[in-house]
C-alpha cells in the first residue's frame, strides 16, 4: 500500500527557524552533509520519507537562504575539526629561522649509542631528536621522525651521517651557528695542529655540568662486564701513532665499520668540547660482538690480552693490511717486530745397563724468524710455603729484567720434547707490548700467580742486552731505551654479594683463569705526556697536574710513578725514546 502524502511539509514552521545541521558518521569517517530537520538535503531541498523528488509539498520563501547559511556553517566547522597537514618548506618562514631552537635539551643528548631507529631498528638514514635524544628513521611525510614530530611536538632533528639539522614536520634545514657545538659532539674533528698540541698543551676542559676533565683521560661506561675492553681502548688511545692516525684519517663511506667506530670513540675520548666527562663504548661493542661471533661481548668478562690480540689483527686487516706483506698498516708499523726461535729436539736413550734413561739434545738446530705483536713474559712458579723467618714470600717479586732474559738467546725453555731459545732482532718496533702471563690452567684447576713485576724506573728500560747485534741497523753497545706509556693491572675483589654479582665473578674467573672466591676486574695506568712536558719546561700555570692517572671505568684518579710496579701488572706498553747526543755517548739523559 503506498504511503499517504503529507498535507503539509512537516519541517515547515511559521514561528521557528530551521535547526542547525547535523553530521553523519560513515565508516568511522566524518562526512559533512547539509541536513534539514534531521534529514539529508538533496540539491538544497528536504525530501519526504520515501520521496526523493521533492514533489507534493510547497517551498517556503526563506528556505533557499537558510540552506546557504547552513552550508557555509558546515564548511567552517569541518575546517576546525579536520587536522591541517603541515606544508613542506625548503626554507624557514622569514623572521622565524630560529624557531624551535630553544626546545633543544643538550643535557640529555647522548650520541654514543648505536645509531638505530627506536621504532624500526634500522641503521639507514637515522635522525636524532634534539629534544628527547631518541633516534628515528627518515624525515619524509611517512617517516618515523615525521610522526614523532606530529605526536609529541619535538621539532628539531639532526642527521647522524651528514650532521645537518632540520625542523619537522615542515622539513626545512636550519642554518644557525649555535648548533655547531652539537655537530662537533656528534662527530669531533681534529686538524694536524690540534693533534700536535695533545702532548704539549695540558689544558683542562669543562662539561655542561661544570665539571673539569682532561681530554683523553675520561672514564668509559661499564655496561655490565666490558671493563676488559675499556682498558684496551684507553691504552690504544694513548699510543701516539695509532691515536694520531685515528684522529686525522678520513674513512670512506665503504670502509669497514670496526675501524670507523673505533676512530669515533677515540675522537670522543679526546674531545675538548664534550657535553659530559665520560663516553660509552656501546657502538664499538656491538660491532665487535658481531664481528667476533659473540666471542667478546658486553655481558661476559674476557681476557684483555686475548681481546687485544684479536682486535689488533682485525684492525690490521680492515685498515687494508696484508697477511703476507709486513708493515702494511699502522698497526704493524707501530707494534710489529721480529725474533729468532731456535729449537732442538730432546731424545731419551737408555744407558748401557738399561735401567736408566738419558736425555740428549739433538745436534740439529732449527732456526726460524717469526714476527710478533705481543711479547709474553713467564713468571717464576709461585712459592708453595711462606718464609717462616722473615715472611718475605707473602707477595713474591721479580725484576722485569729477569723476565726479559727469555729473549736474550742464552736461556732456553722446554716445551714438550723440544728446547727453545728466543732472540729479538733489529730493528725493534716503536712500541713494545709485554704480556705478563699470570694465569695458568689445566684440566683440573686454574691458578693466578700474584708475583709483582718490579722495574727501577718507568723511563729507563734498556732493551739492548736482549737484541741480537746488527751494526748495520744499530751501533753495538748503544742503549735502546724505552719509557712506560700504559700499564693494565689486575684488580681482585671478593666475590661475595648479590647473586648477580657472584655470577659475574664466576664468569670473570672462567674467562681469565681466576681462582678461589676472587672476582676479577681491570684498571689501566696511563701517562699524561702533556703534564710531564709542562712540568719539565716550567709552565707554572700547568704545574700540579698528575703525570700518571689510573682509570677504572668511570673513575679517574691520580697515580704516583714511584708505586706503579706495586700492582699486579698484566700488560705493559713501552715506547721507544729518541736519544739525545749525550745518550749516544753512553751518558743517560738527565
| Interatomic CA distance for residues 99 and 169, integer angstroms | 13
Task: Note the helical H segments in 302-381.
Answer: 304-318, 330-335
Closest alpha carbon to 199 in 432, 478, 532, 576: 532
| Interatomic CA distance for residues 450 and 453, integer angstroms | 9
Closest alpha carbon to 77 in 108, 116, 34: 34
Strands (E), 144-199: 156-159, 165-167, 172-173
| Residues above pLDDT 70, as percent of the chain | 71
Query: What 3-state class would DSSP assign to 394?
Result: coil
C-alpha cell of residue 570:
698484566
More confident residue, 518 or 266: 266
CB distance 111 to 186 below 8 Å: yes
| Interatomic CA distance for residues 528 and 481, integer angstroms | 19
Closest alpha carbon to 381 in 438, 421, 422: 438
Q: What digits encode the pLDDT tens for the residues 208-227?
A: 999 999 999 999 999 999 99
CB distance 101 to 176 below 8 Å: yes
| Interatomic CA distance for residues 378 and 512, integer angstroms | 16
CB distance 522 to 230 below 8 Å: yes
Q: What digits encode the pLDDT tens for the residues 287-324?
A: 999 999 999 999 899 999 999 999 999 999 999 999 88
| DSSP secondary structure letters along 447-486 | EE--PEEE-S-TT-EE-GGGB---TTTS-TT---EEEEEE
Q: What is the mean pLDDT of residues 90-107?
A: 79
Q: How much is the pLDDT for 400?
A: 93
SS3 labels along 356-372: CEEEEEEEEEEEEEEEE
Residues 6+ apart with CB under 8 A from 580: 589
Q: What digits encode the pLDDT tens for the residues 158-172?
A: 999 999 999 999 888
Residues 6+ apart with CB under 8 A from 297: 226, 285, 289
pLDDT band at 254 (very low <50, low <70, confident <90, very high): confident
Closest alpha carbon to 284 in 248, 246, 249, 333: 246
Q: Is the pLDDT of residue 566 over 60?
A: yes
- DSSP 8-state assignment for residue 504: H
Closest alpha carbon to 8 in 46, 34, 43, 40: 46
- How are beta strands 24-26 and 555-559 bridged, if at all? unpaired
| Interatomic CA distance for residues 227 and 296, integer angstroms | 12
Q: How much is the pLDDT for 39?
A: 46
| Interatomic CA distance for residues 39 and 63, integer angstroms | 15
Residues 6+ apart with CB under 8 A from 325: none
CB distance 213 to 277 below 8 Å: yes
Q: How much is the pLDDT for 587?
A: 43
pLDDT band at 497 (very low <50, low <70, confident <90, very high): very low
Q: Is the pLDDT of residue 174 over 80?
A: yes
More confident residue, 245 or 545: 245
Q: What is the mean pLDDT of residues 118-138?
A: 94
371 - beta bridge partners?
Answer: 338
C-alpha cell of residue 337:
717486530
| Interatomic CA distance for residues 530 and 205, integer angstroms | 14
Q: How much is the pLDDT for 33?
A: 45
Q: Is the pLDDT of residue 419 over 50?
A: yes
Q: What digits encode the pLDDT tens for the residues 329-382?
A: 999 999 999 999 988 777 666 666 656 655 555 556 788 999 999 999 999 887
| Interatomic CA distance for residues 181 and 347, integer angstroms | 71
Radius of gyration of the chain (CA): 38
Q: How much is the pLDDT for 399?
A: 93
C-alpha cell of residue 278:
665520560
Closest alpha carbon to 516 in 446, 466, 441: 446
Closest alpha carbon to 291 in 257, 331, 320, 254: 257
Query: What 3-state class would DSSP assign to 400?
Result: helix
- DSSP 8-state assignment for residue 414: E
Q: How much is the pLDDT for 345?
A: 79
Q: How much is the pLDDT for 190?
A: 94
467 - beta bridge partners?
Answer: 424
- How are beta strands 126-129 and 135-137 bridged, if at all? antiparallel
More confident residue, 515 or 422: 422
C-alpha cell of residue 553:
671505568
| Interatomic CA distance for residues 293 and 339, integer angstroms | 32
Q: Which domains does the chain have, with CATH numbers?
A: 24-81 (no CATH), 101-185 (3.30.40.10), 208-330 (3.90.70.10), 368-584 (3.90.70.10)
Q: What digits encode the pLDDT tens for the residues 389-414?
A: 445 557 888 999 999 999 988 877 77
Q: How much is the pLDDT for 54?
A: 42
- DSSP 8-state assignment for residue 306: H
CB distance 362 to 346 below 8 Å: yes
CB distance 514 to 448 below 8 Å: yes
Amino acid at each position: 500500500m503506498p504511503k499517504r502524502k503529507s498535507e503539509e511539509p512537516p519541517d515547515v514552521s511559521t514561528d521557528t527557524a530551521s535547526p542547525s545541521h547535523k553530521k553523519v558518521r560513515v565508516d568511522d569517517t566524518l562526512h559533512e552533509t547539509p541536513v534539514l530537520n534531521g534529514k539529508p538535503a538533496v540539491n538544497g531541498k528536504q525530501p519526504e520519507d520515501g520521496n526523493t523528488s521533492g514533489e507534493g509539498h510547497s517551498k517556503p520563501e526563506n528556505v533557499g537562504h537558510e540552506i546557504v547559511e547552513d552550508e557555509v556553517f558546515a564548511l567552517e566547522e569541518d575546517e576546525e575539526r579536520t587536522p591541517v597537514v603541515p606544508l613542506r618548506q625548503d626554507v624557514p618562514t622569514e623572521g622565524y629561522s630560529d624557531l624551535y631552537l630553544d626546545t633543544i635539551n643538550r643535557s640529555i643528548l647522548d650520541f654514543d649509542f648505536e645509531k638505530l631507529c627506536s621504532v624500526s631498528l634500522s641503521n639507514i638514514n637515522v635522525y636524532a631528536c634534539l629534544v628527547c635524544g631518541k633516534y628515528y628513521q627518515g624525515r619524509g611525510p611517512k617517516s618515523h621522525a615525521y610522526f614523532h614530530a606530529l605526536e609529541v611536538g619535538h621539532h628539531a632533528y639532526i642527521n647522524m651521517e651528514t650532521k645537518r639539522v632540520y625542523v619537522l614536520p615542515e622539513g626545512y634545514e636550519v642554518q644557525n651557528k649555535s648548533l655547531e657545538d652539537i655537530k662537533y659532539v656528534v662527530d669531533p674533528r681534529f686538524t694536524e695542529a690540534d693533534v700536535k698540541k695533545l702532548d704539549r698543551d695540558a689544558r683542562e676542559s669543562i662539561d655542561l655540568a661544570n665539571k673539569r676533565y682532561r681530554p683523553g683521560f675520561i672514564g668509559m661506561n661499564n655496561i655490565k662486564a666490558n671493563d676488559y675492553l675499556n682498558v684496551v681502548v684507553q691504552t690504544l688511545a694513548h699510543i701516539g701513532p695509532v691515536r694520531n692516525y685515528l684522529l686525522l684519517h678520513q674513512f670512506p663511506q665503504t670502509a669497514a665499520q670496526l675501524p670507523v667506530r673505533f676512530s669515533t670513540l677515540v675522537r670522543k675520548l679526546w674531545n675538548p668540547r664534550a657535553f659530559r666527562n665520560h663516553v660509552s663504548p656501546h657502538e664499538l661493542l656491538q660491532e665487535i660482538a658481531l664481528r667476533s661471533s659473540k666471542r667478546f661481548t658486553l655481558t661476559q668478562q674476557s681476557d684483555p690480552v686475548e681481546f687485544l690480540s684479536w682486535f689488533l689483527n682485525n684492525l690490521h686487516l680492515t685498515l687494508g693490511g696484508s697477511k703476507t706483506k709486513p708493515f702494511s698498516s699502522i698497526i704493524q708499523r707501530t707494534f710489529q717486530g721480529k725474533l729468532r726461535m731456535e729449537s732442538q729436539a730432546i731424545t731419551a736413550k737408555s744407558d748401557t745397563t738399561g735401567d736408566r734413561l738419558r736425555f740428549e739434545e739433538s745436534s740439529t738446530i732449527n732456526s726460524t724468524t717469526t714476527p710478533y705483536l705481543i711479547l709474553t713474559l713467564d713468571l717464576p712458579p709461585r712459592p708453595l710455603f711462606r718464609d717462616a723467618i722473615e715472611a718475605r714470600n707473602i707477595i713474591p717479586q721479580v725484576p722485569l729484567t729477569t723476565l726479559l732474559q727469555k729473549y736474550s738467546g742464552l736461556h732456553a725453555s722446554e716445551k714438550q720434547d723440544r728446547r727453545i731459545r728466543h732472540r729479538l732482532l733489529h730493528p725493534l718496533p716503536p712500541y713494545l707490548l709485554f704480556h705478563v702471563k699470570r694465569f695458568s690452567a689445566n684440566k683440573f684447576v686454574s691458578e693466578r700467580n700474584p708475583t709483582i713485576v718490579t722495574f727501577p724506573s718507568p723511563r729507563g728500560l734498556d732493551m739492548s742486552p736482549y737484541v741480537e747485534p746488527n751494526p748495520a741497523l744499530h751501533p753495538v753497545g748503544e742503549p735502546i731505551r724505552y719509557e712506560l706509556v700504559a700499564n693494565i693491572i689486575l684488580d681482585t675483589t671478593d666475590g661475595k654479594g648479590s647473586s648477580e654479582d657472584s655470577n659475574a665473578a664466576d664468569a670473570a674467573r672462567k674467562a681469565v683463569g681466576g681462582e678461589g672466591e676472587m672476582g676479577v676486574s681491570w684498571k689501566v695506568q696511563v701517562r699524561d705526556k702533556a703534564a710531564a712536558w709542562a712540568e719539565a719546561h716550567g709552565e707554572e700555570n700547568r704545574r700540579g697536574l698528575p703525570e700518571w692517572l689510573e682509570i677504572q671505568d668511570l673513575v679517574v684518579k691520580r697515580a704516583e710513578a714511584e708505586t706503579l710496579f706495586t700492582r699486579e701488572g698484566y700488560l705493559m706498553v713501552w715506547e721507544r725514546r729518541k736519544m739525545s747526543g749525550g745518550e749516544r755517548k753512553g751518558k743517560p739523559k738527565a
